[in-house]
Structure 1
Amino acid sequence: MPSNVEIKARVSDVAKFAEKAAQLSQSEGTIIRQHDTFFNCTSGRLKLRDFMNGSGQLIFYERPDTDGPKLSRYSISPTTDPQSLKTVLSDALGVKGEVKKERRLFLIGQTRVHLDTVEGLGHYMELEVVMRQEQTVEEGQQVSFYDPL
């Protein structure tokens, strides 16, 4: 199962964070609109990510509820009909919650830097180190701390 190391935090100065991320990535970032629906499941987490353009992803992942860097293992299945899939999964499992956000994605080396504006919650950042198969969790954590954000 693919994995990544993630760090999430609230962002107080969005402009400063975006400026630094743009400088390090040498890009203005990519805007991605997302509507995530989380479903009840007995182990891990299951969400449907609707990109609001007729495409989406069904994502199952396991990640501890702890502070600091954490390992996330995941499986992803693309869909071209997220609305229909949402109806079926809602009927079968029940909806646990929904999150709407606008994500600005910057790529810096092995790290995906997300600047999220979450509807009703505010601004957050996520550093997501996409692990190579041979890498350890410790190496992923070192990469996430090395990136100067």
Structure 2
Amino acid sequence: MPSNVEIKARVDNVSLLASKASSLSQSEGTIIKQRDTFFHCSPPGRLKLRDFMDGSGQLIFYERPDTDGPKLSRFSISLTSDPQTLREVLSGALGVKGEVLKERRLFLIGQTRVHLDTVEGLGHFMELEVVMRPDQTLVEGQQVAQELMKQLDVSEASLVGGAYIDLLQQNRPAS
């Protein structure tokens, strides 16, 4: 299974982080609108359908610890040209855990995907995904993530664990 080393952090100053990421990537980034539908799945994995809202999507299964700081994420991705019908099938078969709507600004810096996300109901976040090479160790991937965190001035205190869906469900009032 392919893997990444990932971190997620809250962002207070979106303009400053975007400027630093733009400078490091030598690009303005790519804007991507996404709707992630999470389905019930056996722990510790997560299953989501990412709808790019343009008729394309990805079904993604991943396993990742819910800890702060750089962590290993293993994943499998299947492309789809009909995310709406696939959502209906999976909703009926597995049930929906929840949805995350976001606008993502993607920057590519070396082997790392830097996401500056505006998540509906949560606010602004940054994710780093160090795309691991087959010969790289977890420690090497973590070092790449930590070095980029320093370059982007991302503090340890701003790191969060879990997925956006978990954060949204924590914020939801009990019924």
The question of a shared fold, defined as TM-score above 0.5 by the shorter chain, is answered with yes
Kindly provide the amino acid, as one letter, of the partner of residue 103 in structure 1: R
Counterpart in 2 of 1:99?
A: 100
Scaled by the length of structure 1, the TM-score of the pair is 0.99
Percent identical: 79
Mapping for residues 1-149 of structure 1, pairs under 5 Å: 1-43=1-43, 44-147=45-148, 148-149=151-152
Secondary structure of the corresponding residue to residue 22 of structure 2:
helix
Q: SS of 2:98's equivalent?
A: strand
In the TM superposition, what whole-angstrom CA distance separates every residue of 1:105-137 from its partner, at most 9, and x where no partner exists? Answer: 000001110000001110000011000011111
2:160 aligns with none
1:119 partner amino acid: E
Shift of 1:31: 0.3
Number of equivalent positions: 149
Which has a greater percent of helix?
A: 2
Moved over 3 A (4+): none
Query: What SS does structure 1 have at the residue aligned with 2:92?
Result: helix
**Normalising to structure 2: TM-score of the pair?**
0.84
The DSSP-based 3-state class of the residue aligned with 1:74 is strand
How far off its partner does 1:66 sit?
1.1
Q: Which has the higher strand share?
A: 1
Deviations 1:68-103 (A, max 9, x none): 111000000000000000000000000001000000
Unmatched 5+ stretches in structure 2: 153-175
Report the Cα offset of residue 65 of structure 1.
1.0
Q: What secondary structure sits across from 1:85 in the alignment?
A: helix
Amino acid corresponding to residue 80 of structure 1 in structure 2: S
